[in-house]
Each structure stands twice: as C-alpha cells, then as structure tokens.
Structure 1
Amino acid sequence: MYSSRHSGLKRWVEDLNSFYRVEPALYQQDFSRDGFQWMDCNYTEKSVISFVRRGHNPDDTLLVVCNFTPVVRENYLVGVPEGGYWFEVLNSDTELYGGSGVGNFGGVEADLVSIGEMYHSVMLRLPPLGVLFFKQGSGL
C-alpha cells in the first residue's frame, strides 16, 4: 500500500507530533524571549543552525541542530548552555524514518570548551538533511 519512504515519513510526523505534546520546551514559552536562544545561526557556509528551546522548568531545555546539506558533518562543535550528558531524543535520520542511520549513539557528553557565549559544547555527528533534538540530563 505505502512505500517504505512514505511509511518512514509518516512515522516521523507522528513521532514529532507526539514529542511536541510531551515536551514543554516546544510550547510553554512561545511568546517569550526566555523560550528561545540561538546557539549558532551564522555558519552559512556549512548550512547548519542550532538553537535552544526552554520551558518554564530549567530541566525542560532542548538543543535542536539542523543540517541543511546532503553531507554528513563529522565532529561538529555546538555550544550548549549546560555541561553534563545530552541525550539524543529525536533524530530525523534514523532508519525507522527511512534515513541513513547517522547519529550520536544516544547522546554526547558536554565538554568545558567555550563556543560563543556558551562555556560548554558538544561534539556531534550531524546526519545529512537532518534534524537532531537533544535533552540535557535524564532524557525524556
């Protein structure tokens, strides 16, 4: 009935909608400057952007990284607002969604390496034409 690509995209949209419903950082502070912060929006030659979304509770913080090229970005450094472990909670490139399976094996540890205004950063493997969501601490 449906192709595997269609099934993968359908599953991605379902999971993304479910994630939106359970993740306060994606909706609680939509109309407040406290709910959004660019991590990097100026690296135009790489076509990668990253930002943080925040809920009212400090534990409700998400890092979102988007790679708009068909190239895997290895060892891509992104600033983060806190140290500790950042769980990869959603990855558009997983095989479940019809992707190539490029990711960060469930998450990464932040290092004390400054990037811009951030004192910590994470070294990531960015999937081609993909978006990654990370949550600091306990994951979902």
Structure 2
Amino acid sequence: MTDRKLALEAWEGLFRAQHELFTAMSADFENTPITQSEYDVLLTVARAPGMTARLRDVTTNMLISQPSVSRLVDRMVARGLITKGADPEDGRGSILTATDAGARSFREVATAHSRSIVERMSALDEEELRHLRRLTEKLRAH
C-alpha cells in the first residue's frame, strides 16, 4: 500500500518542478517568430513524416482543449505557418502540414529551446535523467 503522505509530497514536488521549469522556459519564446503554443503544434507536425500530421494527433499532444487547439491552428494557417486540409482517411478530420515559413520558424526556436532544456536538466546526471524518464513513463502509462 502506498504511503499517502509520501505520495502527496512526491506529487507536489513533481508538480512544482514542472510548473517552475515551464514558467522559466517561457522566456525561450520572447522575441521569437512563434509562440510557445505554436511551437507545440509545430513540434508534432515537424516530427511527422513529410512534416504532415493529423489534427487529432496534435490535439492529443497539446495540454489545451480541442476547441483551443482548433482556434490556434486556424490562426497558424492565417499566419502562413501551416496548411490545413481534409484527412482522406477520416472525413471529419484534418491534416496539417508545416509550410516553409513554419518549418524555418520552428527550427530557429527549437535550437535555442533545446539548449535551454538541456541547461535546466543539467541539474541531474545521466543516470538520474534515465531514471526520471522511466518514472514519468511509468506514471503516464498507469
């Protein structure tokens, strides 16, 4: 049986660390061509084959509601960062593709943001990082 006090303390520590890191890393997106939310969309799209992903996959990876993702995607289409078309395999779905401008903006921000992540995570050694990865995977799978 899990110790209740320990579980609550661990949760609070995890939550506060995530919140503090996320808040600190929001500075990575100041004076950049894309916002942090746009980066999150482009992260999923850029990692997909042909820089094309289903809207439902983007929504699954985002930490905001589906209607908010849809509005964000529409703004990104208007800004020329992505294109949006019908999903031939799902009549209700959409396919998103990064434009050249979107891919370029993503790469520009990704380079600096990844350095920022590595710097912040350097508080842990490689074994601790592997352990943290295993623990977070286990929590997400539960």
Q: Does the pair score TM above 0.5? A: no
**Structure with the higher helix share, 1 or 2:** 2
Q: TM-score, normalised by structure 1?
A: 0.28
Q: TM-score, normalised by structure 2?
A: 0.28
**Structure with the higher strand share, 1 or 2:** 1
* Bigger radius of gyration among the two: 2
